[in-house]
Amino acid sequence: MYNNQRTVKLNNSKEIPILGLGTYRLKSKDSLKSLIRDAILTGYRHFDTATVYKNEEIIGEAFEEIFSDETLNISREDVWVTSKLSPSEQGYENALNAVQRSLKKLKFDYIDMYLIHWPGVFKLKVSDPKNSVKRQESWKALEELYSKGIVRSIGVSNYQIKHLKELATYSTVTPAVNQCEFHPLLYTKDLVDYCKESGISFMAYSSFGEGRLVNGSIRIPELDLVSKKHNASAAQVLLSWSLHRGIIVIPKASSNKRLENNFASLKIKLDDDDIVAIDSISNANSSRFCWDSNTIS
């Protein structure tokens, strides 16, 4: 299963491949279907999407073709697919309906993992107490779907410690995962440690700082030195830095070359000196490239 790829055991004993393919902003039908097929051939078995990405239907078509291709010998059980609840679909009934729509678009009987994408609700002010009410209702819906096996793991995304503590007061199922922005310029150690102590696996998105840590727009001497030492790309070192901690990563890729480059990070072993050097980056600089959920009540 999962092509003998390294996995992380979640708190419900399900195993998820530690490296996956993110699909944010990938909407071109032909290119995305081709990318997913190339990813399968490279060895990827973990794929991340969301309702707000508007590409679930394309991903569903891609896998329908892959599963029916006898030369690939890939079945539904061989891949892990995560999707997420849109902030505009928060609430009990909305969440139930959203998952059914995702299932239909993906053409699946079940979804491996479904996350609440954001602790807030679309069009509500960040201070509105209804944010808390609606995400509690959404979690109740996901727990019900989880109990029926329609969703095999449930979790959250962009939750801060305060949101996780609140969730713990009403949940009967602990989130399997918290997916957040994470890279050396946003080394949220307190959040990572809290998740670990709570039995919640941490999943990193934007490992490359929206590309700025690997395209030369932000130069980091420590990263350059470690990359040179291991004869590796900056992207590979950034992924290995997270993998070293057992953090799940879902880097995006726009070409077969980048797919292979990212996948090769599984073979890179950073030593303690490398980790200390990259950790030190966050002491001098701190940058968030995506959304900040700290303000959501």
Residue 200 contacts residue 11 (beta carbons within 8 Å) = yes
- Cβ partners under 8 Å of residue 241, min gap 6: 184, 270, 274, 275, 278
Q: For residue 53, indicate whether it is catalytic.
A: yes
Nearest Cα neighbor of 191 from 119, 100, 96 is 119
Is 60 exceeded by the pLDDT of residue 231? yes
β partners of residue 105: none
Q: What is the dihedral of CA 293, 136, 94, 173, to 10 degrees?
A: 100
Catalytic residue among 2, 44, 53, 159: 53
What distance in Å separates the CA atoms of residue 196 and residue 201, rounded to the nearest whole number?
6
117 is in an annotated binding site: yes
Residue 179 contacts residue 251 (beta carbons within 8 Å) = no
The pLDDT of residue 242: 97
- Cβ partners under 8 Å of residue 191, min gap 6: 160, 161, 178, 180, 202
What distance in Å separates the CA atoms of residue 236 and residue 180, rounded to the nearest whole number?
19
Mean pLDDT value across residues 262-270: 96
Mean pLDDT value across residues 240-252: 97
- Cβ partners under 8 Å of residue 92, min gap 6: 137, 138, 140, 141
Among 96-100, 149-153, 261-265, 291-295, where is mean pLDDT lowest?
291-295
What DSSP character marks residue 55? -
The token pair that represents 99 in the structure block:
């998952």
Q: What is the pLDDT of residues 73-129, one digit of tens each?
A: 999 999 999 999 999 999 999 999 999 999 999 999 999 999 999 999 988 899 899
The pLDDT of residue 4: 78
Domains of the chain, earliest start first: 13-209 (3.20.20.100)
Residue 190 contacts residue 161 (beta carbons within 8 Å) = yes
**Angle between the 189-197 and 161-168 helix axes, to the nearest 10 degrees?**
20
Q: What is the pLDDT of residues 147-174, one digit of tens each?
A: 999 999 999 999 999 999 999 999 999 9
Is 60 exceeded by the pLDDT of residue 284? no
β partners of residue 8: 16
What distance in Å separates the CA atoms of residue 230 and residue 244, rounded to the nearest whole number?
15
Is 90 exceeded by the pLDDT of residue 179? yes
For residue 269, how many other CB atoms are within 10 A of its CB?
10
Average pLDDT, the chain: 95
The pLDDT of residue 286: 67
Q: How confident is the model at residue 21 (pLDDT cuts 50, 70, 90)?
A: very high
